[in-house]
Amino acid sequence: MTKRNEQAAEIVRRLHAQYPEADCTLDYDGPWQLMMAAILAAQCTDARVNLITPALFRRYPDAAAMATADFAELTELIRSCGLFRNKAKAMINSSRTLLEHHDGIMPDDIDSLTALPGIGRKIANLILGDYFGIAAIVVDTHCSRISQLLGLTRRTDPPGIEKDLAMVLESKHWILYGHLMVLHGRAVCQARRPDCPNCTVRDLCDYGRAGGESSDECH
């Protein structure tokens, strides 16, 4: 085990102790609802998405209903999430493709998931991990930024970051790691100014050990 492997394992251990409730913060029932909620969550808070999805799923309870959704009606339901036109297109088209190519059954492999319109690796890995329990790393903005500060990766592209993290994290921690990054990014390691003095992993963090004074390095 390398020093980075040991560092990563200890980071997970400490942050899990701090955030024992770490889990997906989107409300959903089944993989299709998770996919729809994840599409809505792009550049929007999970809390906002969770306010919208109850009415959305009452109106469109499954992929078949979404595949035939009225575009204008759908955009009104999701308008407060932002980017609502693009999101509506992705929701409708991914549901149609799911019906046409998978009989409405969510696939459990990365290639099939990323072939769905509007579904990139982030959403695909979320579905694999949180619904199917398949080891996958979700690289969102929190994961990307904090992993760089920690020194677990020097890359800035999500696929590269995912590869680096897969090398230093035990696969049993892949799913949990993404959730820990979200919670830590909201509570302590915020983008504008990380609260390094109150960070439980400061001594394991390249940025924290270097002083953690300049917020400019966090973007």
Q: Whole-angstrom Cα distance, residue 99 to residue 164?
A: 35
Q: Whole-angstrom Cα distance, residue 54 to residue 195?
A: 35
Q: Identify whether the C-beta of residue 94 lies closer than 8 Å to the C-beta of residue 119.
A: yes
Residue 140 among the catalytic residues: yes
* C-alpha 29 chain-centroid distance: 17
Within 8 A by CB and 6+ apart from 49, the residues are 26, 37, 40, 41, 81
Please tell me which residue in 87, 130, 140, 164 is annotated as part of the active site. Answer: 140
Please tell me which residue in 23, 27, 62, 122 is annotated as part of the active site. Answer: 122
Q: Identify whether the C-beta of residue 12 lies closer than 8 Å to the C-beta of residue 176.
A: yes
Residue 89 among the catalytic residues: no
Catalytic residue positions? Answer: 122, 140
